[in-house]
């Protein structure tokens, strides 16, 4: 199978402008995501997709394949799809699976990517996969920057929300507090189909793209990850992640 990773990145983040090139332990955040993704055993290649010359220049400086995309994209999946089509044209072949790896996940582990892809290798009916991990505290469960998910008994998503779901207000002590981790493998054709689906009411209300999949009647396979990672949405998140990565074991394995 032809499997690639694409890291969509743009400088104009509303909550944290310039986020891709903000440094963590002396390395721009997009660099951490790239180097760590490259360690995956299942990806043929990893690309950075951006509309910003600064990000493109940084990618070139570290030897990362990069694709310039339109500045009009509002969603990461649109940027990923455009980059994929340009890569396919250049390579002269179509991809089978495209892994969208969010550029604000500097603490990802390469085995997380492998874990997300394997269900698609094993079951041709699975169109899209998301990772999920446990939330440790009630504060995280109530944080609107963390996208929460509830799943059925077969591990498919029932609902995503920025609200704390399921509810803890009925006195149940052992409430499963799970968050979405934005490493998202798509089957190639379903990525194109997804981007052509009409945006849906719950997707807009929650600001969670995967709700479009559910509202149109498709399934999202969820895969548990035991790794503790933190996405960077704000400068405060950056400070916290910078501290967390002070003794990160993978940094020493980056191939500069």
- The residue with tokens 């991990």 is 133
- In this structure, the number of other CB atoms found within 10 A of the CB of residue 27 comes to 17
- Residue 222 bridge partners (DSSP): 130
Overall average pLDDT of the 242-253 stretch:
95
The C-alpha atoms of residue 106 and residue 29 are separated, in whole angstroms, by 6
What residue spans define the domains of the chain? 3-228+239-253
- Identify the CA nearest to 145 among candidates 165, 161, 128: 161
Is beta strand 45-50 parallel, antiparallel or unpaired with respect to 3-9? parallel
Give the pLDDT confidence score for residue 133 in this predicted structure: 95
Rounded to 10 deg, the angle between the 53-61 and 29-38 helix axes is 50
Neighbours of 20 (CB within 10 A): 26
pLDDT for residue 228: 87
Q: Residue 132's Cα: distance from chain center in Å?
A: 11
Maximum separation of any 2 CA atoms in the chain, in Å: 57
Looking at residue 143, its pLDDT comes to 92
Tokens of 78: 């649109």
Cα pseudo-dihedral 32, 62, 39, 234, rounded to 10: 20
Write out pLDDT tens, residues 232-243: 989 999 999 999
Which residues are within 8 A (CB) of 220 and not within 5 positions of it... i.e. 6 or more apart?
Answer: 128, 129, 130, 156, 157, 210, 213, 214
- Asked if residue 213 lies in contact with residue 194, where contact means CB atoms within 8 angstroms, the answer is yes
Pick the CATH number of 3-228+239-253 from 3.90.550.10, 3.40.50.300, 3.30.420.10, 3.30.1490.20: 3.90.550.10
**Confidence category of residue 170, pLDDT binned at 50, 70, 90:** confident
Please tell me what DSSP assigns to residue 199.
P
* C-alpha 193, offset from chain centre: 19
Under the banding of pLDDT at 50, 70 and 90, the label for residue 256 is confident
Average model confidence (pLDDT) across the chain? 95
Helix (H, G, I), strand (E, B) or coil at 148: strand
Average pLDDT over residues 173-182: 91
List of residues 6+ apart from 245 with CB closer than 8 A: 24, 25, 32, 106, 107, 251
pLDDT interval class at 14 (50, 70, 90): confident
> Given this model, what pLDDT does residue 36 score?
97
Instruction: Round to whole Å and give the CA distance between 63 and 5.
Output: 15
Q: Which of 71-80, 120-129, 213-222 has the lowest mean pLDDT?
A: 71-80
pLDDT tens digit sequence for 88-110: 999 999 999 999 999 999 999 99
């Amino acid at each position: 199978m032809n499997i690639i990773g694409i890291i969509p990145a743009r400088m104009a983040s509303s909550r944290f402008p310039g986020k891709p090139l903000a440094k963590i332990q002396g390395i721009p955040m997009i660099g951490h995501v790239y180097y760590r993704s490259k360690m995956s055993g299942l990806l043929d290649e990893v690309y950075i997709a951006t509309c910003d010359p600064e990000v493109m220049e940084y990618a070139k400086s570290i030897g990362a394949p990069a694709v310039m995309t339109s500045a009009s994209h509002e969603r990461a999946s649109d940027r990923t799809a455009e980059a994929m089509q340009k890569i396919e044209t250049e390579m002269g072949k179509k991809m089978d699976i495209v892994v969208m790896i969010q550029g604000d996940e500097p603490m990802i582990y390469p085995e997380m990517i492998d874990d997300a892809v394997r269900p698609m290798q094993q079951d041709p009916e699975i169109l899209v996969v998301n990772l999920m991990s446990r939330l440790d505290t009630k504060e995280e469960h109530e944080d609107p920057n963390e996208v929460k998910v509830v799943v059925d008994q077969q591990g498919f998503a029932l609902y995503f929300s920025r609200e704390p779901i399921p509810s803890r207000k009925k006195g149940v002590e052992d409430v499963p507090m799970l968050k979405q981790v934005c490493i998202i493998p798509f089957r190639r054709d379903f990525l194109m189909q997804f981007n052509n689906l009409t945006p849906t009411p719950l997707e807009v209300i929650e600001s969670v793209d995967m709700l479009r999949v559910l509202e149109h009647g498709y399934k999202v396979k969820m895969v548990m990850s035991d790794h503790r990672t933190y996405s960077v949405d704000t400068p405060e998140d950056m400070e916290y992640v910078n501290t967390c990565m002070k003794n990160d074991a993978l940094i020493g394995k980056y191939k500069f």
